[in-house]
Amino acid sequence: MSSPTNAPAQPTWNGSSEQQTLAERAFHVMMLQSAFFPENVPVRQTVANLAAFIASQDGVDASALEASIIAALEANSQIFRRIDEGEHVVYATTRLGYYTEPQIDTRHSFAKRLHEPENPLPIDDLSVVITRTRPALTTIEPVFISDYWQQRSPTTGEEGEIINPVTPALASTNDDVDVDETFEEAVAPVEVAPATVAPTIVVEKPAPAVVANSTSLVLPNGEALDFAQSVEAILADHSSTIQAALSQAIDNDPLRRIVAFGDEYFAEENIPTLSKGDLRRIREYIVEQGEPMPDTSILSDVYYRNPRDNDYVTFRFALNYRLNREKDFEFVGVQGARLWSAKGLPAVGTKRLKTSELGQFYSFLEETPQFDDSLSQTSADDIKQNRQLSRFLSFFEWEYGVLPYDAALKALLPQPLLPEQRTAILRIESPQHYSFYLAELRYPTANRGGWLHGLEDFFKEHLVPGALITLSATDDPSVWTLQYEETSGAEVKLLQQDDKKGRYAFVKHNFYCDADNDLIASQERLPRLKNMKVLTSGERRRLATTAGYVLEQVGQPRPGDRAGFELSIDDLFLGVNVQRPATRSYLLGELAEEQDFLVEEAAVIYFPPPEDETSVETKNFDADDE
């Protein structure tokens, strides 16, 4: 078989057998170096490098081998050319098997063809080449230089003198000035008085302190990171800073070479894509199940994949990352349980109030956190340690099946996994009744509060306002248990909302749970709540308007120079929470700022404005009219 045309020539070697072997090995090393060289281009290599390479293969001393290599190459001088370069001895050869001096062909250079044409043009008139007319000089326009370059341009020497000062551009705006004079002035040196030269101030930014070794790295915050320490020590001291710097670098990458979902990162080119058919099948599967589904169920039921597959982790990340970029899917999971909802699923939570209205009701928890008294009985650390929370239900929470996302619930429930995540779906189980409910956790936004809703059926069937409930975590981060203390049972005429008439009425109700009697809106407690209308969302949005209406309906009249209504703080707090949610501190704090209210030690007095005053003498507050 013939050798390839681009293979190097095989020369004939001279000298002893040892010299022939060394020369041949040196030649092969240089041919490997010149794999992409033209045939006549010299390949140069030092004797020291050749000796080091051959010695590493034979396991001998390289310095003792240099003399043998020089003798071998000198014996084959027809192949190698010696070139002395100071301290180093260099030998050169080519792929042809012998050395040739490089030749530069200048016969067809552009300079030669330009200045020495074969057929030069004849010169009939010297005026074409030589003229006494000076071409007009264009006016030198001023150029604006920003402050940034004016500060950066001057360079200073060792003694502080300016080497390349920034000089302003010269301009001539007078059309009557002679061109020659303008040119001479432009090229003439400019004399500047020493007093007019502003001193150049060089401000050196202090360098951050760096550990004096080669394993140091300066973090963006100026701290010095020493990689000579153990990984555990580095993460213990700088984990948050490293994570923030890494996330910022990944987010600022315009090529998006690394993508993230939650706290996981993958190279974008290594994760598979989902076709339109895959998205359709996933959506149909979720809608068929009737509730949001975890990613593990989608992988097993739609793609028939299990954790034993080699690419299971990669494909799981790809599934979550791709679905998060589709508008027909919404991530509603938490850390450890990644659930997906699809367009077409029924809404979770109460339909009697809009989400915007609930967000406005609970906005005070975010805007005025000092009125959040949910941690008055227990601390957030105790809630996190015990992984459970006990609280009393208000009438509003019982009526609509919601719980406020206050400081206590924030300490218990999981935080959002994604930066722009709005909701999370939780599974609330009742071990006492072997039932479960899907609840939606709405995270707060800039001007809206958060809440947990979807428990209206459970509250109405088993509890009453004022019931003591306990919400506990399980091993599954998306599953929670809801329990209450059972009692022998009691009957009460309980206030309930009539949606058709838009008013409240008392209805007999049996309950079997432990409750706080001060929070039960019963007929015995406040009979005047009967026939109180359900305020509109606009009226309930303002707490003072709601409190004034409750005082007019339930409070005791106070005749005098200015008619008013008086009610105890406990009864007012109960009546206000029939219409809208509010904490006791928030209620008293808002009413103290209103001029129509007078907050006393145990009661609140309301003086209606003149246009809204009701005839106190003719107002009938017959408690027996039921």
Kind of pairing between the strands at 43-46 and 88-93: antiparallel
H/E element holding 382? helix 380-386
* 210 or 260, which is more confident: 260
Structurally, the chain folds into a number of domains equal to: 4
Q: Phi first, then psi: what are they for 597, rounded to 5°?
A: -120, 145
- Spatial CA neighbour of 458 closest among 485, 477, 484: 484
Please, which pLDDT band fits residue 2 given cuts at 50, 70 and 90?
Answer: very low
Assess whether 468 and 588 both reside in one domain.
Answer: no
Cα separation, 511 vs 513, whole angstroms: 6
Does any domain span residue 408?
A: yes
Tally the C-alpha atoms within 13 A of residue 365's C-alpha that lie toward its C-beta.
26
Query: Which of 58, 77, 93 is a domain's end point?
Result: 93
Assess whether 556 and 615 both reside in one domain.
Answer: yes
- Residue 139's pLDDT is what? 59
Q: Phi first, then psi: what are they for 62, rounded to 5°?
A: -70, -35
H/E element holding 216? strand 216-218
Does any domain span residue 3?
A: no
- Residue 437's pLDDT is what? 95
Cα separation, 283 vs 295, whole angstroms: 12
**pLDDT tens digit sequence for 361-397:** 999 999 999 999 999 989 999 999 999 999 999 999 9
Cα separation, 156 vs 135, whole angstroms: 39
Assess whether 413 and 390 both reside in one domain.
Answer: yes
Q: Read off the CATH number of the domain in which 279 is found.
A: 1.10.10
Assess whether 474 and 360 both reside in one domain.
Answer: yes
* 181 or 311, which is more confident: 311
Does any domain span residue 547?
A: yes
Query: Which of 78, 93, 108 is a domain's end point?
Result: 93
Structure tokens at 188: 């003439």
Residues 365 and 372 sit within 8 Å (Cβ to Cβ): yes
Residues 201 and 212 sit within 8 Å (Cβ to Cβ): no
Assess whether 393 and 442 both reside in one domain.
Answer: yes
Cα separation, 300 vs 297, whole angstroms: 5
3-state secondary structure 319-341: HHHHHCCCCCEEECCECCECEEE
Secondary structure (3-state) at 569: helix
- Sequence-ordered list of residues with C-beta below 8 angstroms from that of 476, at least 6 positions apart, any chain: 336, 337, 427
Given a cut of 80, whether residue 141 has pLDDT beyond it is no
Domain, as residue range, for 458: 355-487
Cα separation, 481 vs 216, whole angstroms: 50
Assess whether 332 and 385 both reside in one domain.
Answer: no
Does any domain span residue 205?
A: no
Does any domain span residue 230?
A: no
Does any domain span residue 157?
A: no
Assess whether 367 and 427 both reside in one domain.
Answer: yes
**pLDDT tens digit sequence for 15-33:** 898 888 888 888 988 888 8
Assess whether 412 and 308 both reside in one domain.
Answer: no
Torsion (CA) 398, 402, 406, 411 in degrees, nearest 10: 110
Over range 187-196, report the average pLDDT.
47
- Residue 237's pLDDT is what? 82
Cα separation, 440 vs 454, whole angstroms: 6
Cα separation, 595 vs 593, whole angstroms: 7
Paired strand residues for 368: none
Q: Read off the CATH number of the domain in which 428 is found.
A: 2.40.330.10
Given a cut of 90, whether residue 511 has pLDDT beyond it is yes
Does any domain span residue 4?
A: no
Cα separation, 143 vs 141, whole angstroms: 6
Does any domain span residue 154?
A: no
Assess whether 414 and 461 both reside in one domain.
Answer: yes
pTM above 0.75, yes or no: no
Assess whether 366 and 331 both reside in one domain.
Answer: no
The residue with tokens 């979770």 is: 348
The residue with tokens 């341009």 is: 153
- Residue 97's pLDDT is what? 83
Assess whether 368 and 414 both reside in one domain.
Answer: yes
Query: Which of 342, 372, 396 is a domain's end point?
Result: 342
**pLDDT tens digit sequence for 391-423:** 999 999 999 999 999 999 999 999 999 988 999
- With 0-12 / 13-18 / 19 or more C-beta atoms within 10 angstroms meaning exposed / middle / buried, residue 468 is middle
Percent helix / strand / coil, the chain, rounded to 5: 35, 20, 45
- Residue 85's pLDDT is what? 74
- Residue 223's pLDDT is what? 75
Quote the mean pLDDT of the chain: 82
Assess whether 473 and 388 both reside in one domain.
Answer: yes
Given a cut of 90, whether residue 305 has pLDDT beyond it is yes
